[in-house]
Amino acid sequence: MVTEKIGEGLVRIGAMTEEQRNEVIEKQNAGDERMFGEVAIELEFINDEIIMEYINSRFT
């Protein structure tokens, strides 16, 4: 089973652009140890509601 990373999933559903995903990953690679969603929310690319919708869609 292939597991989709949250950034890939958010791009797939249109909640984020690839550029936004890459910006979050760059921040993490530069030493930001927070989870992907936390960084994306801080950058105002997404919000808590979008994260919950994505997670719920993965398990229904």
Provide the number of structural domains found in the chain: 1
Higher-pLDDT residue of 1, 32: 32
Residue 1 pLDDT > 60: no
Average pLDDT of the residues of the chain: 92
CA pair distance 48, 60, nearest whole angstrom: 19
Task: Write down the pTM of the prediction.
Answer: 0.87
Q: Is residue 1 one of the residues assigned to a domain?
A: no
Q: For residue 13, what are the domain limits?
A: 6-58
Q: Is residue 23 one of the residues assigned to a domain?
A: yes
Q: Is residue 38 one of the residues assigned to a domain?
A: yes
Q: Tell me the pLDDT tens digit for each residue of 32-58.
A: 999 999 999 999 999 999 998 888 887
Q: Is residue 17 one of the residues assigned to a domain?
A: yes
Question: What proportion of the chain, given as a percentage, has pLDDT over 70?
Answer: 95
